[in-house]
Amino acid sequence: MRLRIPAVLIGLSTFMLATAVAAQLFEPLDLSGEEMFMRYCAACHGTDARGTGPVARTMNKRVPDLTQLMADPRDEFPAQAIRDAIDGRSMAISHGTRQMPVWGYEFWVEEGADVVAEQTAREMINRIVAYLESIQGANEPGLLELEEGPRF
């Protein structure tokens, strides 16, 4: 007897196998802060972090320039406040107008929503924050006016 397996099934299972392998190979902690930024943040904030990514124009809020997080470049970088802003889980409900995803939650869910996932999510945010610190002042202030949104 000959088994006739439809080609589509073979195609589908090959695809599923390929994605399962890819999912195993992909570890977020293999990425640098810069690579994470390009993957998760650049759509809105732009690859240069100036707030002009392709998705920015679909938002009703101005997407902030992340190279200008400090009023005075000589100030100390407010790492904890930036971490909290990205994580979002500790933000009060009254900040309910938030348009940015709650990354602490997104990363935690993406990583399996357990204790290890929590550590991974925190480390991811730490790396992204270190990257943001490294690009402060990377462009001319005042070129893009920030209209609204919290400032630190």
- Tell me which residues touch ligand HEC (CB under 6 A): 40-41, 43-45, 55, 59, 61, 63-64, 66, 69, 82, 85-86, 98-100, 103, 128, 149-152
Nearest to 101 by CA among 52, 47, 55, 34: 55
Nearer to ligand HEC by C-beta: 44 or 135?
44
Nearer to ligand HEC by C-beta: 21 or 59?
59
Nearer to ligand HEC by C-beta: 12 or 59?
59
As measured in angstroms, the least distance from the Cβ of 124 to ligand HEC is 8
Nearest to 88 by CA among 65, 63, 106: 106
HSE-up of residue 106 (Cα within 13 Å, Cβ side): 12
Contacts 24+ apart (CB under 8 A), 103-110: 103/40, 107/28, 110/28
Return the DSSP state at 62.
P
As measured in angstroms, the least distance from the Cβ of 110 to ligand HEC is 12
As measured in angstroms, the least distance from the Cβ of 67 to ligand HEC is 11
Nearer to ligand HEC by C-beta: 14 or 99?
99
